[in-house]
Structure 1
Amino acid sequence: MSEIDLGRYPGVYRRGSTWYVKKRVPMDLRHVENREQIAISLGTTDPREAERRYPFRLADIERRFHELRSELEAQGPVQAALRAGRLELLSDADIETLVGDWFRKRAVLREPSFDKLDARTHLHHLAEDESRIRAPDPHDMDPVENAANRLLLDAGMAARTRKLGRSRTKAAVPVVDRSTSQYAYLINLVRRALLADIAVSKDQLDGGQTATFDPLFNPEGGRAPHAPLTASTSAAIGRRTVADLVREYGRYREASYDKESTDRKYKLLFRALEETLGSDFAVAAIKASDCVRVKALLDALPPNISKRFRGFTLGEAAAVRKQKGLPAMAATTVGGYMQNLSAVFNWAEKQGDWGVHKNPAQGLTGSRRANVQRRSFTPDELKALFAALEPLRDATPTKFWVPALAVYTGARAGEICQLRTVDVIEVDGLHCLNLSEFGPDGTRVADKRLKTAASERIVPLHPAIVEAGFLRFVERQHNHERLFPDLKAGPKGNFSHEFSKWFGRFKRRVGFAQPSLVFHSFRHGFRDACRMADIGDETARALGGWSAINQATRYGNRGMVPVLDRAIKKLDFDGFKLPVALESALEA
């Protein structure tokens, strides 16, 4: 019989006379860690000492999970999804980029070679390949699937080895869910690419122009991508300038997204591009060294330049910043701009008529690692912070309830600040927050936005929020459309704009000046609390609106609210509890 209460210490077991602790590897890390669970020795045979060491070794395992996720995030969302074997996390544009890059690398295979085969024989082989692609033999390997596997492996997709037939030979195969719409789209694009490949190769062999237009794989229509350009076409490409690129890409981006998003992400970048190279600079002549100069200018700029240096050129603003010793723009911000510049050249390359055959900004995103490692508030820090917030509860309740909700829901500031009174709902007798861009009638609310599709969720209220008097506060707001009517939309339309600035000033004033502690620290703390309560990773992701995986994708459904409610009631912040309003205490 065990000498340790396994109910209180989940994962503890004994091997021989030594105690160990184990924890299952979350599904999103399974293909990176390459094992289903991690086990660590507690280094003792004494049950009492094992209990003492238990939380420290469990924290070591969680630290390993955190490090793996940090490594994935540092690689960017596309590489992170590929390494985790999660093709379903990629957008259609991401998949188009993957297949487009693969297609361009195959250009050398389209160059005709007559060392061993004459043109007629080569054309015959191409016809056979085309037949296999259009109607694969059910008893043989599908050439499209085979090409897709090779593409994914070359791109860095997580893989496992598989035995080939009855032989001892093993081959790597990508770990990918072939039932998803993203995989179906990938297969469709690879089939298009292979057929375009064959059509272009045929034209190169027989001098014809039968290859049809394809915006990804043959944007120049019937002319083979590597056939010689005519003098008039070359001249037209040579006349296309940086000003043309800025104008045309801006139109494309606004049509695909909106003007506000395009201005926010590209306006400063376009200024830097035009100021560095000149508006009349030929796009076809832009080299990697020119993009390095654009990055150097961005690196030298101060933050918030549009507000603090109106009327200045970017070069003048950079000089003033250096002269006054002001801080420079964050490396993560510059990295984001360079990633956007790379997207511009990817677009120009796909168009085929800008003279861009290789992205000159590729690989210049630089380090996007944050300069500050954020952390969660400790229980003692939460007590001190809310002791300072408590006096504001009656006079300016927004300043108390927005942080309180962040602690117990893990919601982002923007998600909380845009709440409406109708977003506090009741499901199966459980009080919840409906974090959604849609109203009760199912129509989209114009001034509400969420960061990702996974952010759309219903979160049950923690008992501590209810006990602290939140529902009474909601009742008092019944005459207001917005739950926090004193918050006004900022310049980008987000209702958290001014609140975030106020909270930053407030927390410094009450003794929390560390840059590692910000409003987002509440979200970090919520995730930590989920781990300490041993809430499953998928359920924690559903509660916090992190990228959903597997069954968590169903948690937006009201029928799953009781499951989430049971999980959220497990959360404990090691002694911290919201202060209860006097009227609530008297009623109790």
Structure 2
Amino acid sequence: MNGTRCGSLRSPPTFVATRKAAAEPADARFSFQGIVDAEKARRALGRDAKPFPESSVRKYSKRGQEFAAWRLSRGMPKTAASDARTVTREEAEQWRASLLDQGTLANRTVNDKLASISTIIEWGRGMHRGDFHPGGNPMDGLRKLDFRVLDSDARTYGIEEAITVLEAARREAEVRRRWLPWVCAYTGMRIEEAGQLKAEDFFQAGGRWFLTVSTSGRRSLKTASSQRRIPIHPSLEAEGFLKFVQAVGKGRLFLSNRIQPHMSEWVRETAGVKRKELSPNHGWRHFFEDLCALANMPDAARDYMTGRATGKSRDLYGRSEVMLPGLTKAMDMVADILQLGGAK
């Protein structure tokens, strides 16, 4: 009898498998991955739709998988662990605590993981209405962790670091490692943008070569102002980059899988630039902007070429081929990086 009484007084697990929704047969529509897939499909509707960036699809898919794996590790049945209908505020707080306990993740990263789950739930509420968290998003009001923001100069390449990476790239045969550091250093492109380049994106005007950053071919950009045309810097041409482009002839220049982590790992492990604060990929954008500032390049030209353009700068640069010589003149103000650092 005592054993029976004790058994009846045991607290149920903190996960929500006992909820009615979790006990129902699995329905892929309500899984984290199912919602991400549906959101991707929704954004592709219509002739002139703006597709969901593949990098974002991978991010939200990964976050859903991570949360489901954590729920599974706590004893939740597999089908219920991936069911987004059963998420509770308490679970979110417990997951956050477990991430912090690992001691390896920055607060900003932990915030992003929880925000991703909240976003997936919000998409699900828009798709399924009353069948999906009718009382509201359970993660609403969950306060974010505070974190220290590094100054941009801490994330940026120093001249010696930049030279180290560019010289390491010269020794590489694999095309991403050979060319992406050079392209980003001399254009300020985001690594995702550079990784999507095709041979058809390059053109000549007035005797000079340019590249086009665009959404053609269902590629994705961060913002509308990210569409732009960038002159090829003389040092990038002298390095042989255009010969590489011409040898490709047609189609994508680089393999698209895992570009960000691949290049970050290469910078740290092979090129040997291990400074913790440095952003191995995004640091090139700040570095190029520093080169522009050093050259006293007009702000409007710099903002246009890096995709930070405002309406005013778009009026001044790049709206037609008539304006391309102005961009070329601005790009030619940027110093040769190796010479700037005294390297050969």
Q: TM-score range by the shorter chain?
A: 0.5 to 0.7
Is 2:203–2:211's contact at 8 Å kept on the other side of the alignment?
Answer: yes
Is 1:341–1:361's contact at 8 Å kept on the other side of the alignment?
Answer: no
Which residue of 2 is the match for residue 457 of structure 1? 228
Number of aligned residue pairs: give it: 298
The Cα shift of 1:411 comes to 1.4
Seen in structure 2, the aligned counterparts of structure 1 residues 437 and 264 have a Cα distance that, compared at 3 Å, is farther
CA distance in 2, matches of 1:433, 1:568: 13
Work out which of the residue numbers 47, 57, 66 in structure 2 matches 1:268: 66
CA distance in 1, matches of 2:271, 2:140: 40
Is 1:242–1:274's contact at 8 Å kept on the other side of the alignment?
Answer: no
| Letter in structure 2 aligned against 1:527 | E
Is 1:338–1:361's contact at 8 Å kept on the other side of the alignment?
Answer: no
Is 2:184–2:190's contact at 8 Å kept on the other side of the alignment?
Answer: yes
The Cα shift of 1:526 comes to 0.7
Once the two structures are superposed, what CA deviation does each residue of 1:106-148 show, in whole Å capped at 9, x if it has no partner?
Answer: xxxxxxxxxxxxxxxxxxxxxxxxxxxxxxxxxxxxxxxxxxx
Tell me how large the CA RMSD over aligned residues is: 4.0
CA distance in 2, matches of 1:240, 1:498: 40
TM-score by length of 2: 0.68
Which residue of 2 is the match for residue 366 of structure 1? 145
**Does structure 1 residue 505 correspond to structure 2 residue 269?**
yes
Which residue of 2 is the match for residue 520 of structure 1? 282
Q: Can you give the 5+ residue segments of structure 1 that lack an aligned partner in the other structure?
A: 1-237, 302-326, 439-443, 581-588
Once the two structures are superposed, what CA deviation does each residue of 1:68-108 show, in whole Å capped at 9, x if it has no partner?
Answer: xxxxxxxxxxxxxxxxxxxxxxxxxxxxxxxxxxxxxxxxx
Work out which of the residue numbers 21, 38, 45 in structure 2 matches 1:240: 21
Is 2:30–2:124's contact at 8 Å kept on the other side of the alignment?
Answer: no
Is 1:272–1:298's contact at 8 Å kept on the other side of the alignment?
Answer: no
Which runs of structure 2 are paired with 1:426-575 in the superposition (5 Å)? 426-438=204-216, 444=217, 448-475=219-246, 477-478=247-248, 481-484=251-254, 488-490=255-257, 494-495=258-259, 498-508=262-272, 512-517=273-278, 518-546=280-308, 548-553=309-314, 557-559=319-321, 560-572=323-335, 575=339
Q: Can you give the 5+ residue segments of structure 2 that lack an aligned partner in the other structure?
A: 1-18, 42-56
Corresponding residue SS for 2:155: coil
The Cα shift of 1:404 comes to 1.8
Work out which of the residue numbers 291, 297, 303 in structure 1 matches 2:98: 297
The Cα shift of 1:379 comes to 3.0
Which residue of 1 is the match for residue 159 of structure 2? 379
* Higher alpha-carbon Rg: 1
Is 1:529–1:571's contact at 8 Å kept on the other side of the alignment?
Answer: yes
The Cα shift of 1:545 comes to 2.0
**Does structure 1 residue 256 correspond to structure 2 residue 256?**
no
The Cα shift of 1:576 comes to 1.8
Percent identity, please. 22
Seen in structure 2, the aligned counterparts of structure 1 residues 276 and 364 have a Cα distance that, compared at 3 Å, is farther
Which residue of 1 is the match for residue 202 of structure 2? 424
| Letter in structure 1 aligned against 2:183 | L
Which residue of 2 is the match for residue 405 of structure 1? 183
Seen in structure 2, the aligned counterparts of structure 1 residues 252 and 482 have a Cα distance that, compared at 3 Å, is closer
Work out which of the residue numbers 319, 331, 334 in structure 1 matches 2:107: 331
| Letter in structure 2 aligned against 1:502 | W
The Cα shift of 1:568 comes to 1.9
CA distance in 1, matches of 2:289, 2:62: 30
Is 1:455–1:545's contact at 8 Å kept on the other side of the alignment?
Answer: yes
Once the two structures are superposed, what CA deviation does each residue of 1:517-576 show, in whole Å capped at 9, x if it has no partner?
Answer: 323322211122223334444432321123x42234565644343332232222236852
CA distance in 2, matches of 1:284, 1:397: 44
The Cα shift of 1:247 comes to 4.4
Higher relative contact order (CA 8 A, sep 6+): 2
CA distance in 1, matches of 2:342, 2:38: 46
Is 2:199–2:253's contact at 8 Å kept on the other side of the alignment?
Answer: yes
Corresponding residue SS for 1:570: coil
Which residue of 1 is the match for residue 50 of structure 2? none
